[in-house]
Chain A
Amino acid sequence: MASVTSGQEVLSAGAVTTRHRSYWWDVVVRLVRSKPLGLIGGIIILGMALLAVLADVLSPYDYQEIVASERLKPPSATYFLGTDNAGRDMFSRIIHGARISLTVGLSAVAISTTAAIIIGVGSAYFGGWFDAITQRFVDAIQALPGLILVLTIVAVLGSSVKNVILAIAIGGAVSGSRIIRSAALSIVAMPYVEAARTLGASNQRIIFAHIVPNIMAPALTLASIGLGGAILAESTLSFLGLGVPPDVPTWGGMLAGAGRRWMLQAWWLAVFPGLFLSLTVYGFNMLGDALRDLLDPRLRGTR
């Protein structure tokens, strides 16, 4: 949200800025008052974010320290969530996993939302052949199901955190640009855009001062709904063994690979990573849902 306000500060005069600020503040107030599910989602995310940021401080043990004598210990006061087959503390690994999930999710969505705005607004504003060609590419990429697209990009570029972020961002940008385009199309047709054009405003001014601020609500909604999906995509990739390198602790990775063989003896290996993952995605989906209702009733029922 910080980037939204700062963007608007640059674009608008001081008095207007205050009004915009109170608009977003109003959204938060309405969320707390009338959207209990969204509020719960927000609290879950805040908790996960705290765990991720403070992972180094909060983890009782080094997440990659292998202690052979402490293998497969069940959850106890010493090890909250037990230890894995290499004797590593599960709690420490899981909160470091939160870090990767949130980093990948937030970066992928930041990139994809920005790209979706550029593609969508460009397509809507310039129209003509530019729009026609862009939309054929969007059609084509959308014909490839999300996981297929992401798998292919990662397979070709190679497994690294950067490439996983990029692959998820490409998928999100393409489908997101459709929604931004249709929102921008209705704004391009507004009388105030025509008025600005009549007054001799440049394309740049019309786009940045009139169109972009007005699609911030759908863009933010898109981002908050996309976050859950991005985190799921990352964990699915890690589960399939094509995500981030195996030495990085991820929730998806903990549920796959070496740990799988030990789950019959150690149920906690199968339960906790999935629980944290589901809870995080659940939080983002509930918050995204509430934000969508608050910010942009037109988007109801999408996805």
Chain B
Amino acid sequence: MTKYIVRRLILALPTLLVIMLLVFSILRFLPGDIVKLMVAEQQYAVDEAQLRKDLGLADPWPVQFVKWSSKAVRGDFGRSLWTEQNISDELKNRFPVSAELGLYSIIIGVLIALPVGIISAIRQDSILDYVCRSVAIGFLSIPGFWLATLLLVFPLIWWGWSPPLTYVKLSENPVKHFQYFFWPALLLGLSLSGTTMRLMRNQMLEVLRQDYIRTANAKGLTESKVIIRHALRNALIPVVTVIGLQVAAVVSGTVVMESIFSIPGIGRFYFQAILFRDYPAVQATALFIALTVLLTNIIIDVTYGVIDPRIRLS
């Protein structure tokens, strides 16, 4: 087990190196002079030469890469040009907020997906199944930002109500905290549930064809017992992986939801850093996000092995 985890972490190293190279090159190898634009549009320094020096662009690039990466590994990303805060502090303060939003969305997504996926599978090719499947594809197709727009417009027109837009910490006021996160997490959860729902249905159909299900039916168990005790338990395992794969989708979703509901998380920070051409912050955040995705995938793979004893972790 430990051996497997260590091996996975070592295998992730070359990938991490390539990620660092890619992120590093954002500022350096692209067409046009970004420094010129940063000075012209945002006045980050008095002149280009100064900003070039501040960004560490004066050295030959292999030297730059070693300097930048050795600092980045220690978590030192310097200051944000735009907020003038220490970037690592920004990320540290904002990560829990995005993690909360992501976690709640995944939970809501699963809570919607599992029952619908199961019903769809049990009543395969019935009208109900068709409705459930169309709804699943619908959730995948309707953009979250449109639903959010509708949510902000119509309740206000009809009842003068709008969702709360100030972030409240869980420790401060749990009720207000959940009220605040409910809508963005629901909207994000809906789009996530589409994928999970379809996988749940396929898995369930596969399991229901197995011999042990026939045996369970033959010995006279009730349908609900067969479904819950025998089928669901086995069908759930691969669904765990897809929830893991959704981490990337969640990050994309948080950018949009955090911008609309003004949530002080990583996604909004990244988007604003891009708008303000705050490239040191863009690089740091991109690296941070990639690392988070990489690590979550490793954790999910390990968990997968733990819940399914048939999979040997080697």
Contacts and interface: CB of A to CB of B under 8 A. Distances in A.
A116 B274 CA distance: 28
A270 interface: yes
Contacts of A147: 251-253, 255-256
A217 to B, nearest CB: 19
Contacts of B157: 264, 267
A151 B271 contact: yes
A142 B18 CA distance: 11
Contacts of A67: none
Contact of B293 (A143, A278, A281, A303): A143
B274 A242 contact: yes
B249 A145 contact: yes
A263 B248 contact: no
A37 interface: yes
B216 interface: no
Interface stretch (B51-59, B79-87, B130-138, B224-232): B130-138
A165 interface: no
- Give the interface centre of A264, A267, A301 by most chain B CB atoms within 10 Å: A301
A300 B206 CA distance: 12
B109 to A, nearest CB: 15
A31 B180 CA distance: 45
Contacts of A281: 140-143
B122 interface: no
Contact of B198 (A146, A155, A228, A301): A301
B299 interface: no
Contacts of B154: 267, 270
Nearest to B30: A156
B165 interface: no
- Give the interface centre of A143, A232, A241, A289 by most chain B CB atoms within 10 Å: A143
A246 to B, nearest CB: 14
A53 interface: no
Contact of A144 (B138, B250, B274, B290): B290
Interface residues of A, number: 50
A270 B294 CA distance: 37
A209 B259 CA distance: 49
A166 B117 CA distance: 36
Given A263-B153, A264-B156, A267-B154, A145 B146 contact: no
A285 B271 CA distance: 28
A147 B26 CA distance: 16
Contacts of B140: 228, 281, 285
Interface string A225-252: 0001000100110011110000000001
Interface string A134-149: 0011011111111110
Interface in B148-204: 149-150, 153-154, 156-157, 195, 198-199, 202-203
A277 B146 contact: yes
Chain B residues touching A, majority SS? helix
Contacts of B253: 147
- Give the interface centre of B22, B252, B253, B293 by most chain A CB atoms within 10 Å: B252
A145 B289 CA distance: 8
Given A144-B289, A144-B290, A152-B282, A278 B141 contact: yes
B62 interface: no
A213 interface: no
Interface string B206-235: 000000000000000000000000000000
Given A240-B259, A286-B137, A270 B290 contact: no
A36 to B, nearest CB: 8
Interface in A251-303: 252, 255-256, 260, 263-264, 267, 270-271, 273-274, 277-278, 281-282, 284-286, 289, 300-301, 303
Given A255-B146, A278-B142, A152 B286 contact: yes
B146 A146 contact: no
A283 to B, nearest CB: 8
Contact of B15 (A136, A239, A267): A136
A32 interface: no
Given A156-B34, A236-B143, A271-B150, A148 B255 contact: yes
Nearest to B18: A140
A157 interface: yes
- Give the interface centre of A144, A158, A236, A282 by most chain B CB atoms within 10 Å: A144
A271 B151 CA distance: 11
Given A147-B255, A147-B256, A303-B195, A155 B274 contact: yes
Contacts of A270: 149-150, 153-154
A6 to B, nearest CB: 31
B157 to A, nearest CB: 6
A296 B123 CA distance: 24
Task: Give the 6 A-B residue pairs with the shortest CB-CB distance, closest first.
Answer: A274-B146, A147-B252, A140-B18, A282-B141, A281-B141, A143-B290
7 contacts: A152-B274, A152-B286, A232-B143, A235-B143, A264-B156, A270-B149, A270-B150
Interface of B: 14-16, 18-19, 21-22, 26, 30-32, 34, 130, 133-134, 137-138, 140-143, 145-146, 149-150, 153-154, 156-157, 195, 198-199, 202-203, 248-253, 255-256, 259, 270-271, 274-275, 277, 282, 286, 289-291, 293-294
Given A136-B15, A145-B248, 20 more contacts: A136-B14, A140-B290, A145-B252, A147-B255, A151-B271, A152-B274, A155-B274, A155-B277, A228-B141, A235-B143, A239-B145, A240-B259, A256-B145, A263-B153, A271-B150, A274-B149, A278-B141, A278-B142, A285-B141, A301-B202
